[in-house]
């Protein structure tokens, strides 16, 4: 099962049997199009049905229409679809052709050089020469690179959307080639796994002639579609080509989902079939009886069969049954499916075009990736959201850290961030030019020289997220900023900075005096280790700004580290200076930036031409520092700045970048990263190169990453580990080893809790020193693992586990992830819309809870049910208790007055009343959403998701207003979604941004990806991709509502229309001896649906707006309309059917009586009926149309005009052609007949009277919320605003705390007193969660300390969606003021 691309040694290409590189994504060829397309179309049952009916027409005894004519609709529908498919296929063909004809350099044996060839001519085993910025034509194994490090950089944006550069290495055995790679000398065999679609896996080995085997990794493979960057030239051998490349294998087509509405519709289509059969049966029996009454005396009008034989009544009835199926076929709407598709495409188009869903910053708008579930957006009941990157910006800002048990609060940094926030809320643009910032010297007075810098000439960008963003940024500035200054310009804590300086100078001193580094005081060495860990324990790639995408290349001799900084400068600077001329625009930019770069203390003063407020006097006045000032006077500092510039860090995750920037603020900056070496610049010590022995990458199971380096100063093999606190803390060396370590662990844990309570993301940093023997021992097994082909991942995992034990804790960091704009408002509004919001996050509980408060997911006023259990039994017990508690509290005491008031207050929250089928199906008890929040952690969740407990868990969870699952794995996320979706039978939406959300997104009914933050995996898996979380509000409340209501109404209308039209013929059967005769000309009959009545409903289905977008957003409860499927309930189908039958009765019998006993002929009588039916159907649509634009008028006018035009032409064209109706001049005569007009006036009125009257009464007597919303729309804006603000208070009242509710905060009823119920009136210290005993904490909500302003606000105007709230909402705003207080109280409690 391996493939061996080999060299062509003359003769035939040994690799000829592998797929070539020509791609063909088209489905059809010219020849295969027709059969294949038809075959595909016949997979749809409806098409088969219609073809069956059309074919039935060819049977003479049962035929109802001219067979050729009966084929027309089917052929029409099939050909429309076929043309659509053909067009799509043609576009694919064109793009294929374009791609296939791209050029690349392929080595030619004959010419002994690289020749230009088309992509499609590339074969497996070909040698390809790649140049910078070229796109890879196939999956290529890297054999040689011009890069001295044997590296090749690629950008994988087209594959996964990640724009950061990735390094790929030359295959190890070719590493040592000193000269250029010569394909002729290549003489090895490559064996590798079969083509698969896993982008992150490649296994294989290369067998050299010597018999030596070398393993191949994914690091050696360059994938098709990636772009070569920063590498002048690379040579590789094609491993997979064409359709076998990983990119192509990953390229699966659009997803097909069936929406809830469609499922409901299919049920009703089924009912239509039943109705059809009943009608046909009725007619057949009727015909049999009609025949039977004549007995043997055959009347003249009962024509014999063509053969002249007499048919028995029974046989006639059977034949007639089939005939009736043909005649009544319209009842199953052939055009329904096509119309729905058209309408959905239009809906998608309009959603795409919505300006409100366009994000200026990233130049991206909403993408609908699944075209056929737009209406599901209007029916969501549960939202499952990721936190990081979805609710938050994923803009990681270093906030605080603790090193060796000492906390550095970084107050100045907090203030700085607060300031950014203000600025953001004001106007980002204005800062972009001048960069003037209010100086806040006063508040930062304790700092020697506060740095307040906002020195970027462009608008602040998020870190290198989406391609669009990067592109845009490059357009704007030519120098992409990969992190906003907010994330980069970290103000160091003065205390810590002092320590760092002290430490490094001591180390430097020791180095000079060749003292062992171990003599360093342990707290100081911890500090320096801490920062080294921050700097190197990551995968950050360094690039310099004036050479975008150019890796900084500084290679030091590993064996001979730079001894002094002067030495280094002498060796490296002059040559760089010569090339340091930049365009003026960029130079000013760089100089501006340079002032804050990490190593500035060693450099000269900032450039003179800087136009910014520059307060960079960051140099503590210390002799040492000056003494080590590395820049000789002859060097111009400015040139230095330009050259060195500000190194940019491209990180795979924003946390990493934040930490690297944080370390740089302490002048411990990462200056270069090579596969085997990391260069760090330290104060006083200069550039140090760490030999990188191993990198054990981050994964979600280990939740940590480690690097193994050789420390250049101590020459020890050191492991630096960085990871989630929960895992790291468990890996810390048993504390009995040292009192100090114990104390550090204890303190750090406390600080970690504090950080989490502040909503910070916490990471622990630890290190471990390995002895040579230990390392050798580990290395051996690790290498075995690396070279294993089978189970390599598992082995590597185990190997990592072996290494990451007995760590020594260095410290912890707190990184802040700010909430995205408008998240609290969106959540509040979605919740008012009756959506249950669950947040599933991998963060730790305290962090998650705090973010939840900040984004208004949890309300300070509501109780929190916390479930933390250590075992299955404990979890069961906990759930049981919670259930009892909820019941006792909210159900048992219903006689209580207060509870009564409570219930009435909560009436709007009875989202799924018992009458609704969705809830009654699985649970008989109507359930209510209570003022409860549920917090559950990953471990407990794992227990709760067990089969035995899931029902209980759901019972608890569904009664809670919000659910927060912390520490959940991707799998758990998807399990939760699946559980809710399957058990509660509700519509679920999952929203997330990262790869860890993919499974959840795929499981949910609708998956939404947030684009442009963490790669594209989530977007690739999603049905809709949003640039920002807050757009979800408009997407659901407005577009979802519209799409649902439009489509629901259109489907109902379709059923009505066809039933009404078919019933006309059915009534006629009573007057034609049930002979299957139709008074409606077969042309009208067949084209009525397809042409005459098709356009208005499409227009209405696409454009109708029941309520304006503004009102829908202001009154989110209108969304409940879709959740409860109020536009299209099962009974509505039957009501529509009854109405249809009534209307058809009117349309039939008014002409019947008007022409009774007259000399009217069949089709002169039938044509007015057709006309009347058309008028009635169109006017019916008119009643149901809520918004009349010129398009509606036009379409209705067009429909009528089309009908008359066609009728007149048809009736004038040929006197003999249209057998049997032969309607020559019928319409023309009718138009001269006053009776026709009289009929046209009265019949539609009489037919639509009940519906019109009903609608009017409904509008007045029991208006639905939607109708009220519409009335609101009509009001002048002034009055409307007043009413809305009024109603907001009113609507909000059940939510806002009221006296009856407050009583609930009293000790709970009996059933719950077992519980450890604690209240935290003033402290937000999280409950200790490490106890063996399970506990449920009902945390009373007075969290006034954390968010005093928020809780106050929530009392006064909870639902005011005014701008002022936006900038004050995110909790970070409060941070500067509360931080100190919180710390203080915390310290007291210690």
* Residue 842 labeled ligand binder: yes
1108-1111, long-range: CB < 8 A, 24+ apart: 1108/1273, 1109/356, 1109/1034, 1109/1038, 1111/1269, 1111/1270, 1111/1272, 1111/1273
* Coil/strand/helix, residue 844: coil
Among 377, 385, 373, 258, CA closest to 976: 385
> What is the C-alpha separation between 626 and 127, in angstroms, rounded?
55
Residue range at the interface with other proteins (CB under 8 A); choices 375-383, 869-877, 1285-1293, 1362-1370? 1285-1293
Question: Between 1083 and 1386, whose beta carbon lies closer to other proteins?
Answer: 1083
Alpha-carbon dihedral angle through residues 170, 172, 173, 175, given to the nearest 10 degrees: 50
In the complex, least distance from residue 631 CB atom to other proteins, rounded to whole angstroms: 18
Q: Return the residue of 315, 1090, 1160, 1305 that touches other proteins, per CB under 8 A.
A: 1160
1087-1116 residues near other proteins, rule: CB under 8 A: 1103, 1105, 1109, 1115
Q: Which two tokens stand for residue 1345?
A: 């300390």
Check residue 1216 for interaction with other proteins (CB under 8 A): yes
Place of tokens 């380096």: 709
Among 863, 859, 902, 905, CA closest to 886: 863
Residue range at the interface with other proteins (CB under 8 A); choices 78-86, 246-254, 1184-1192, 1357-1365? 1184-1192
Check residue 909 for interaction with other proteins (CB under 8 A): no
> What is the C-alpha separation between 461 and 455, in angstroms, rounded?
13
DSSP assignment string, 782-835: HHHHHH-STTHHHHHHHHHHHHS-SBEEEEEEEEEEEEPTTHHHHHHHHHHTT-
Q: Return the residue of 1166, 1326, 1341, 1370 that touches other proteins, per CB under 8 A.
A: 1166
* Residue 1270 labeled ligand binder: no
Check residue 576 for interaction with other proteins (CB under 8 A): yes
> What is the C-alpha separation between 1295 and 1293, in angstroms, rounded?
5
634-663 residues near other proteins, rule: CB under 8 A: 643
Q: Return the residue of 1213, 1258, 1322, 1387 that touches other proteins, per CB under 8 A.
A: 1258
860-879 residues near other proteins, rule: CB under 8 A: none
* Residue 117 labeled ligand binder: no
Q: Return the residue of 10, 11, 211, 299 that touches other proteins, per CB under 8 A.
A: 299
Neighbours of 263 (CB within 10 A): 9
Contact yes or no for 470/163 (Cβ under 8 A): yes
Check residue 318 for interaction with other proteins (CB under 8 A): no
> What is the C-alpha separation between 1214 and 1224, in angstroms, rounded?
7
Check residue 1260 for interaction with other proteins (CB under 8 A): yes
Residue range at the interface with other proteins (CB under 8 A); choices 192-200, 332-340, 485-493, 1067-1075? 1067-1075
Among 762, 758, 849, CA closest to 1386: 758
Question: Residue 674, Cα to own-chain centre: how many angstroms?
Answer: 34
In the complex, least distance from residue 69 CB atom to other proteins, rounded to whole angstroms: 13
Check residue 345 for interaction with other proteins (CB under 8 A): no
DSSP 242: G
Check residue 558 for interaction with other proteins (CB under 8 A): no
Check residue 586 for interaction with other proteins (CB under 8 A): no
Check residue 1287 for interaction with other proteins (CB under 8 A): yes
* Residue 1353 labeled ligand binder: no
Check residue 791 for interaction with other proteins (CB under 8 A): no
Residue range at the interface with other proteins (CB under 8 A); choices 387-395, 467-475, 995-1003, 1085-1093? 467-475
223-252 residues near other proteins, rule: CB under 8 A: 232
* Residue 704 labeled ligand binder: no
Check residue 58 for interaction with other proteins (CB under 8 A): no
Contact yes or no for 481/461 (Cβ under 8 A): yes
Check residue 1232 for interaction with other proteins (CB under 8 A): no
Neighbours of 397 (CB within 10 A): 28
362-391 residues near other proteins, rule: CB under 8 A: 363-365
In the complex, least distance from residue 654 CB atom to other proteins, rounded to whole angstroms: 24
Check residue 578 for interaction with other proteins (CB under 8 A): yes
In the complex, least distance from residue 435 CB atom to other proteins, rounded to whole angstroms: 24
Check residue 1273 for interaction with other proteins (CB under 8 A): yes
If you count them, how many residues does the chain have? 1390
Contact yes or no for 654/396 (Cβ under 8 A): yes
Question: Between 365 and 1030, whose beta carbon lies closer to other proteins?
Answer: 365
How many residues bind other proteins (CB under 8 A)? The answer is: 122
Contact yes or no for 197/190 (Cβ under 8 A): no
> What is the C-alpha separation between 493 and 408, in angstroms, rounded?
7
Question: Which of 126, 139, 160, 386 is an active site residue?
Answer: 386
Q: Return the residue of 1268, 1305, 1361, 1366 that touches other proteins, per CB under 8 A.
A: 1268
In the complex, least distance from residue 335 CB atom to other proteins, rounded to whole angstroms: 24
Q: What are phi and psi of 31, to 5 degrees?
A: -75, -40
Check residue 302 for interaction with other proteins (CB under 8 A): yes
* Residue 386 appears among annotated catalytic residues: yes
* Residue 967 labeled ligand binder: yes
Contact yes or no for 150/261 (Cβ under 8 A): no
Q: Return the residue of 1073, 1101, 1297, 1370 that touches other proteins, per CB under 8 A.
A: 1073
Prior bond of 1220 cis (ω within 30°):
yes
* Residue 1034 labeled ligand binder: no
Q: Alpha-carbon torsion 260, 263, 264, 265, what sign?
A: positive
In the complex, least distance from residue 1199 CB atom to other proteins, rounded to whole angstroms: 18
Check residue 1277 for interaction with other proteins (CB under 8 A): no
* Residue 722 labeled ligand binder: yes
Check residue 307 for interaction with other proteins (CB under 8 A): yes
Check residue 550 for interaction with other proteins (CB under 8 A): yes
130-159 residues near other proteins, rule: CB under 8 A: 132-133
Q: Which two tokens stand for residue 581?
A: 């001329």
* Coil/strand/helix, residue 575: helix
> What is the C-alpha separation between 613 and 595, in angstroms, rounded?
11
DSSP 731: H
Check residue 1361 for interaction with other proteins (CB under 8 A): no
Check residue 1225 for interaction with other proteins (CB under 8 A): yes
* Residue 1310 labeled ligand binder: no
Going through 915-959 in order, the beta strands assigned E by DSSP cover 930-937
Residues 6+ apart with CB under 8 A from 265: 1051
Question: Residue 1118, Cα to own-chain centre: how many angstroms?
Answer: 25
Check residue 547 for interaction with other proteins (CB under 8 A): yes
Binding residues: 386-388, 656, 698, 722, 761, 841-843, 967, 973, 993, 996-997
Binding residues for ATP: 386-388, 656, 698, 722, 761, 841-843, 967, 973, 996-997
What residues are annotated to the active site?
Answer: 386
Binding residues for Mg(2+): 386, 388, 993, 997
């Amino acid at each position: 099962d391996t493939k061996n691309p080999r060299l062509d040694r003359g003769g035939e290409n040994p690799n000829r049997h592998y797929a070539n590189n020509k791609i063909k994504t088209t489905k059809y060829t010219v020849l295969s199009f027709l059969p294949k397309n038809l075959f595909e179309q016949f997979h749809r049952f409806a098409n088969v049905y219609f073809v069956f009916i059309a074919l039935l027409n060819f049977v003479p005894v049962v035929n109802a229409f001219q067979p050729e004519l009966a084929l027309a609709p089917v052929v029409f529908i099939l050909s429309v679809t076929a043309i659509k498919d053909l067009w799509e296929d043609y576009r694919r063909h064109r793009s294929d052709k374009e791609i296939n004809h791209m050029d690349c350099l392929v080595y030619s044996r004959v010419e002994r050089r690289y020749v230009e060839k088309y992509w499609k001519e590339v074969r497996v085993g070909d040698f390809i020469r790649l140049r910078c910025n070229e796109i890879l034509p196939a999956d290529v194994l890297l054999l040689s690179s011009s890069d001295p490090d044997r590296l090749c950089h690629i950008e994988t944006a087209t594959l996964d959307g990640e724009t950061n550069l990735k390094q790929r290495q030359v295959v190890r055995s070719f590493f040592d080639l000193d000269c250029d790679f010569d394909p002729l000398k290549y003489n090895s065999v490559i064996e590798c796994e079969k083509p698969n679609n896993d982008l992150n896996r490649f296994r294989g080995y290369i067998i050299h002639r010597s018999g030596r085997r070398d393993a191949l990794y994914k690091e050696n493979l360059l994938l098709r579609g990636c772009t070569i960057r920063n590498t002048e030239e690379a040579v590789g051998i094609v491993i997979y080509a064409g359709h076998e490349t990983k990119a192509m294998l990953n390229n699966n087509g659009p997803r097909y989902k069936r929406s809830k509405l469609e499922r409901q519709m299919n049920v009703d289509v089924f009912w239509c079939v039943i109705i059809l059969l009943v009608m046909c049966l009725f007619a057949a029996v009727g015909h049999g009886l009609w025949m039977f009454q004549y007995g043997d005396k055959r009347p003249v009008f009962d024509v014999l069969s063509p053969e002249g034989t007499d048919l028995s009544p029974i046989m006639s009835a059977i034949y007639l049954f089939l005939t009736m199926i043909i005649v009544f076929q319209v009842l199953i709407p052939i055009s329904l499916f096509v119309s729905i598709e058209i309408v959905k495409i239009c809906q998608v188009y309009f959603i795409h075009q919505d300006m409100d869903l366009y994000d200026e910053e990233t130049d991206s708008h909403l993408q609908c990736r699944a075209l056929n579930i737009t209406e599901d957006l209007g029916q969501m009941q549960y939202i499952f959201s990721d936190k990081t990157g979805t609710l938050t910006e994923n803009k990681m800002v270093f906030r605080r850290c603790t090193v060796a048990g000492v906390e550095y609060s970084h107050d100045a940094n907090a203030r700085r961030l607060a300031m950014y926030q203000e600025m953001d809320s004001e106007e980002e643009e204005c800062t972009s030019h001048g960069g003037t910032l209010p100086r806040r010297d006063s508040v930062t007075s304790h700092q020697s020289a506060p740095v307040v810098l906002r020195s970027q000439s462009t608008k602040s960008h998020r870190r290198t997220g989406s391609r669009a963003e990067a592109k845009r940024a490059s357009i704007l500035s030519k120098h992409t900023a990969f992190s906003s200054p907010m994330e980069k310009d970290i103000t160091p804590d003065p205390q810590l900075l002092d320590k760092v300086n002290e430490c490094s100078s001591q180390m430097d001193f020791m180095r000079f005096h060749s003292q062992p580094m171990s003599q360093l005081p342990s707290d100081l060495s911890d500090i320096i280790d801490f920062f080294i860990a921050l700097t190197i324990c990551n995968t950050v790639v360094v690039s310099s700004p004036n050479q975008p995408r150019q890796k900084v290349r500084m290679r030091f001799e590993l064996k001979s580290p730079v001894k002094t900084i002067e030495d280094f400068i002498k060796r490296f600077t002059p040559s760089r200076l010569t090339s340091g001329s930049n365009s003026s625009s960029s130079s000013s930019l760089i100089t501006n930036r340079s002032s804050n770069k990490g190593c500035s203390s060693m450099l000269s003063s900032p450039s003179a031409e800087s136009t910014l407020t520059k307060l960079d006097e960051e140099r503590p006045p210390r002799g040492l520092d000056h003494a080590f000032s590395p820049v000789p006077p002859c060097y111009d500092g400015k040139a230095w700045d330009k050259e060195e510039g500000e190194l940019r860090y491209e990180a795979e995750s924003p946390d990493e970048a934040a930490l690297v920037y944080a370390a740089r603020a302490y002048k411990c900056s990462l200056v270069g990263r090579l596969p085997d070496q990391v260069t760090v610049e330290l104060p006083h010590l200069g550039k140090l190169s760490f030999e990188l022995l191993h990198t054990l990458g981050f994964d979600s199971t280990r939740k940590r990453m480690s690097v193994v380096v050789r420390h250049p100063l101590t020459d020890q093999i050191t492991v630096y580990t960085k990871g989630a606190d929960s895992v790291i803390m468990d890996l810390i060396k048993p504390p009995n080893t040292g009192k100090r370590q114990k104390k550090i662990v204890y303190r750090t844990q406390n600080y970690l809790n504090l950080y989490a309570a502040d909503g910070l993301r916490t990471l622990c940093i630890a290190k471990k020193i390995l002895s040579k023997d230990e390392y050798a021992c580990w290395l051996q097994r690790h290498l075995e693992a690396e070279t294993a082909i089978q189970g390599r991942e598992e082995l590597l995992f185990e190997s990592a586990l072996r290494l990451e034990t007995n760590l020594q804790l260095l410290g912890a960091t707190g990184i802040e992830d700010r909430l995205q704009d408008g998240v609290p408002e969106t959540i509040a509004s979605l919740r008012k819309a009756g959506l249950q919001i669950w947040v599933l996050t991998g963060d730790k509980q305290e962090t998650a809870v705090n973010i939840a408060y900040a984004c208004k997911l949890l309300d300070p006023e509501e109780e929190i049910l916390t479930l933390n259990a250590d075992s299955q039994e404990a979890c069961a017990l906990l759930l049981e208790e919670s259930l009892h508690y909820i019941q006792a509290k909210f159900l048992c005491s219903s006689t209580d007055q207060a509870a009564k008031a409570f219930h009435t207050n909560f009436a709007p929250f009875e989202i799924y009343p018992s009458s609704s089928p969705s809830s009654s199906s699985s649970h008989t008890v109507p359930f209510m959403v209570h003022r409860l929040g549920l917090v559950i952690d990953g471990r407990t969740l794992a227990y709760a998701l067990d089969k035995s407990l899931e029902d209980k868990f759901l019972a608890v969870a569904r009664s809670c207003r919000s659910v927060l699952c912390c520490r959940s794995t991707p799998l758990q996320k998807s399990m939760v979604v699946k559980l809710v979706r399957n058990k509660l039978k509700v519509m679920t939406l999952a929203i997330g941004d990262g790869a860890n959300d993919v499974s959840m997104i795929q499981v949910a009914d609708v998956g939404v990806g947030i684009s442009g933050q963490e790669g594209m995996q989530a977007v690739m898996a999603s049905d809709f991709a949003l640039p920002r979380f807050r757009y979800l509000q408009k997407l659901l409340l407005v577009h979802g509502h519209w799409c649902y209501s439009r489509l629901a109404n259109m489907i109902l209308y379709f059923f009505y229309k066809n039933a009404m039209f078919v019933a006309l013929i059915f009534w006629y059967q009573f007057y034609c001896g049930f002979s299957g005769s139709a008074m409606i000309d077969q042309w009208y009959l067949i084209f009525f649906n397809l042409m005459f009545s098709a356009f208005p409903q499409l227009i209405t289905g696409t454009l109708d707006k029941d309520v304006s977008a503004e009102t829908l957003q202001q009154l989110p409860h209108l969304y409940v309309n879709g959740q409860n499927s109020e536009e299209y309930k099962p009974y509505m189908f039957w009501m529509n059917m009854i109405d249809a039958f009534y209307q058809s009765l009117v349309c039939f019998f008014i002409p019947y009586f008007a022409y009774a006993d007259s000399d009217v002929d069949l089709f002169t009588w039938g044509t007015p009926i057709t006309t009347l039916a058309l008028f009635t159907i169109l006017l019916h649509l008119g009643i149901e149309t809520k918004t009349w634009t010129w398009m509606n008028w036009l379409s209705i006018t067009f429909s009528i005009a089309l009908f008359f035009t066609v009728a007149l032409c048809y009736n004038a064209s040929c006197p003999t052609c249209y057998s049997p109706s032969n309607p020559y001049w019928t319409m023309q005569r009718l138009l001269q007949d006053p009776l026709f007009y009289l009929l046209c006036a009265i019949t539609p009125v009489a037919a639509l009277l009940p519906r019109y009257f009903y609608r009017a009464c409904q509008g007045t007597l029991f208006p639905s919320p939607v109708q009220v919303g519409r009335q609101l729309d009509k009001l002048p804006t002034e009055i409307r605003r007043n009413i809305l603000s009024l109603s907001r208070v009113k609507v909000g009242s059940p939510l806002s705390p009221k006296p009856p509710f407050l009583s609930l905060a009293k000790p709970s009823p009996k059933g719950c007193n077992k519980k450890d119920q604690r209240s935290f009136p003033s402290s937000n210290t999280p409950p200790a969660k490490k106890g063996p005993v399970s506990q449920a904490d009902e945390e009373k909500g007075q969290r006034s300390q954390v968010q005093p302003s928020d809780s106050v606000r929530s009392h006064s105007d909870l639902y005011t969606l005014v701008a002022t709230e936006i900038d004050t909402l995110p909790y970070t705003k409060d941070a500067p003021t509360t931080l100190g207080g919180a710390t203080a109280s915390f310290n007291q409690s210690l």
